[in-house]
């Protein structure tokens, strides 16, 4: 068993003599197939705007029981109709041996592995085995696992590669995060870029719908992905998004999708100025993260403030402050940052925390 993917024999996701034609690759369609009418209506509009690959979830892995878990195999003939009527290739998510067998039997062209499945090596091996049994050579697209673990993502790809799949691709759909965020699944571009660095031949697609979780974020995230040299986009589009049975906030009509795609700047190559622009965008993202993390810290501080008020405790406890400073400076120095710099940062953070707690003691609380 090879210890790593060689990947120098990978093939493009789509078999085309004109590689330009499919770059970037755009996959679009509803989060879930709901009815034959919804699938066909959406597909017809997408085909009209030049989309070549249609997506629709037939089986939906839901975080909690009781949600809509997909129409199941009854939806597969609808995908076949899409292909016959529009000529688009079809794609769906598989998570089990049975899904894989049904999808292959129904002639689905492209399979993708969802984020909850790529995190599960047993499920991945089961899928790899069944695809090998059916001599399916791809394309298979693997979403990043829900947790930011590059090795797990690579492991999932590797199992498929070892099963003989050469039309292989990765999808960056962001990573689960606890607490309030701008994004539904915050992207970690550097993880996708590290995957690109290790396997330059592996196509990587971005899923702005599941990263953003909101319609408004699809265009900026798509542009960001293209600027970083992603090979394509997978975007959720529904003929009537407000009535969608799943992920309604992040789906757009085929008309809006056409508008979004026409507003994007498609760059041929990532030149040096674009590399610089890309790094600056990464800095912007990190700064936003710093603000979010500081906000989280202040929220906990205010909670402590309420506790101290209730128990008539003083706001500042000198020993605790000394411990915080020493441990943070120590950690920073180990990461090659200056002790003075860290002292400045943490005394400012502490000062703001104290200010917020004093506000609470003075009865000036925040409604959160």
Report what 126 binds from Mn ion, ligand PEP, none; CB cut-off 5-8 Å by kind. none
Report what 231 binds from Mn ion, ligand PEP, none; CB cut-off 5-8 Å by kind. none
63 burial via Cβ count (<10 Å: 0-12, 13-18, 19+): exposed
Of 115 and 221, which CB lies nearer to ligand PEP in the complex structure? 115
Q: Tell me: cis bond preceding 200? Omega within 30 of 0 counts.
A: no
Phi then psi for 235, rounded to 5 degrees?
-130, 135
Residues near Mn ion (CB under 5 A) are 31, 247
Instruction: Tell me if 53 sits within 8 A of 27, measured CB to CB.
Output: yes
| Identified binder of ligand PEP from the candidate list 76, 111, 115, 154, rule CB under 6 A | 115
Residue 244 engages ligand PEP in binding (rule: CB under 6 A): no
Query: In degrees, to the nearest 5, what angle opens at C-alpha 159 toward C-alphas 158 and 162?
Result: 80
The two structure tokens encoding residue 115: 């984020």
Residue 10 engages ligand PEP in binding (rule: CB under 6 A): no
Residue 130 engages ligand PEP in binding (rule: CB under 6 A): no
* Residue 26: closest CA among 223, 204, 205: 205
Instruction: Tell me if 350 sits within 8 A of 324, measured CB to CB.
Output: yes
Nearest distance in Å: CB 214, Mn ion: 13
# chain residues binding ligand PEP, by CB under 6 A = 8
Distance, CA of 206 to CA of 223 (rounded, Å): 10
CA 222 to chain centre: 12
Nearest distance in Å: CB 95, ligand PEP: 9
| Identified binder of ligand PEP from the candidate list 99, 143, 196, 285, rule CB under 6 A | 143
Of 176 and 288, which CB lies nearer to Mn ion in the complex structure? 176
Of 165 and 234, which CB lies nearer to Mn ion in the complex structure? 234
Could you tell me which residues come within 8 angstroms of residue 271 by beta carbon, excluding any fewer than 6 positions away? none
Q: Which residue has its beta carbon closest to ligand PEP?
A: 114
Distance, CA of 73 to CA of 11 (rounded, Å): 29
Report what 94 binds from Mn ion, ligand PEP, none; CB cut-off 5-8 Å by kind. none
| Identified binder of ligand PEP from the candidate list 31, 110, 127, 298, rule CB under 6 A | 31
User: Among the residues of the chain, which ranges form H helices?
Assistant: 36-48, 76-86, 97-105, 115-118, 121-133, 150-162, 189-198, 208-212, 218-227, 254-263, 272-310, 318-334, 339-361
Distance, CA of 283 to CA of 241 (rounded, Å): 33
Judged by CB under 6 A, the chain residues 184 through 223 that form the site for ligand PEP are: 210
Of 178 and 266, which CB lies nearer to ligand PEP in the complex structure? 178
Report what 115 binds from Mn ion, ligand PEP, none; CB cut-off 5-8 Å by kind. ligand PEP
The two structure tokens encoding residue 299: 């929220």
Of 109 and 352, which CB lies nearer to ligand PEP in the complex structure? 109
Nearest distance in Å: CB 165, ligand PEP: 19
Pairing of strands 89-94, 204-206: unpaired
The two structure tokens encoding residue 66: 């009781």
Judged by CB under 6 A, the chain residues 249 through 278 that form the site for ligand PEP are: none
Distance, CA of 13 to CA of 170 (rounded, Å): 10
Judged by CB under 6 A, the chain residues 152 through 191 that form the site for ligand PEP are: 173
Report what 298 binds from ligand PEP, Mn ion, none; CB cut-off 5-8 Å by kind. none
Nearest distance in Å: CB 57, ligand PEP: 5
Nearest distance in Å: CB 235, ligand PEP: 10
Of 213 and 305, which CB lies nearer to Mn ion in the complex structure? 213
Of 234 and 342, which CB lies nearer to ligand PEP in the complex structure? 234
Chain residues that interact with ligand PEP, rule: CB under 6 A = 31, 57, 93, 114-115, 143, 173, 210
């Amino acid at each position: 068993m090879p210890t790593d993917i060689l990947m120098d024999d990978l093939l493009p996701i789509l078999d085309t003599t004109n590689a330009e034609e499919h770059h970037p690759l755009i996959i679009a369609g509803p989060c879930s197939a709901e009815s034959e009418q919804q699938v066909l209506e959406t597909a017809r509009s997408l085909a009209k705007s030049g989309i070549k690959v249609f997506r629709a979830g037939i089986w939906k892995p839901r975080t909690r029981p009781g949600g809509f878990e997909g129409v199941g195999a009854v939806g597969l003939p609808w995908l076949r109709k899409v292909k016959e009527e529009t000529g688009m290739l079809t794609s769906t998510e598989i998570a089990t041996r049975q899904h894989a067998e049904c999808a292959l039997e129904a002639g689905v062209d492209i399979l993708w592995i969802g984020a909850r499945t790529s995190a599960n090596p047993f499920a991945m091996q089961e899928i790899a085995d069944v695809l090998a049994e059916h001599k399916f050579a791809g394309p298979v697209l693997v979403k990043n696992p829900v947790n930011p673990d590059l090795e797990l993502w690579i492991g999932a790809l590797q199992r498929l590669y070892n099963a003989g799949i050469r039309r292989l691709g990765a999808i960056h759909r962001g990573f689960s995060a606890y607490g309030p965020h701008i994004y539904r699944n915050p992207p970690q571009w550097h993880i996708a870029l590290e995957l690109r660095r290790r396997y330059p031949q592996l196509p990587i697609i971005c899923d702005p719908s599941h990263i953003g979780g909101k319609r408004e974020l699809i265009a900026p995230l798509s542009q960001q992905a293209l600027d970083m040299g992603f090979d394509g986009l997978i975007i959720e589009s529904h003929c009537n998004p407000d009535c969608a049975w799943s992920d309604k906030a992040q789906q757009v009509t085929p008309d809006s999708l056409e508008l979004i795609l026409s507003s994007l700047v498609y760059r041929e190559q990532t030149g040096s100025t674009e590399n610089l622009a890309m790094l600056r965008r990464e800095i912007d993202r990190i700064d936003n993260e710093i603000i979010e993390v500081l906000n989280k810290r202040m929220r906990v501080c205010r909670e402590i403030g309420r506790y101290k008020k209730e128990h008539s405790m003083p706001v500042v406890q000198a020993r605790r402050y000394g411990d915080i400073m020493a441990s943070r400076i120590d950690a920073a120095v180990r990461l090659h940052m200056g002790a003075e710099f860290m002292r400045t940062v943490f005394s400012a953070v502490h000062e703001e925390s104290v200010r917020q707690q004093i506000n609470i003691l003075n009865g000036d609380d925040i409604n959160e």
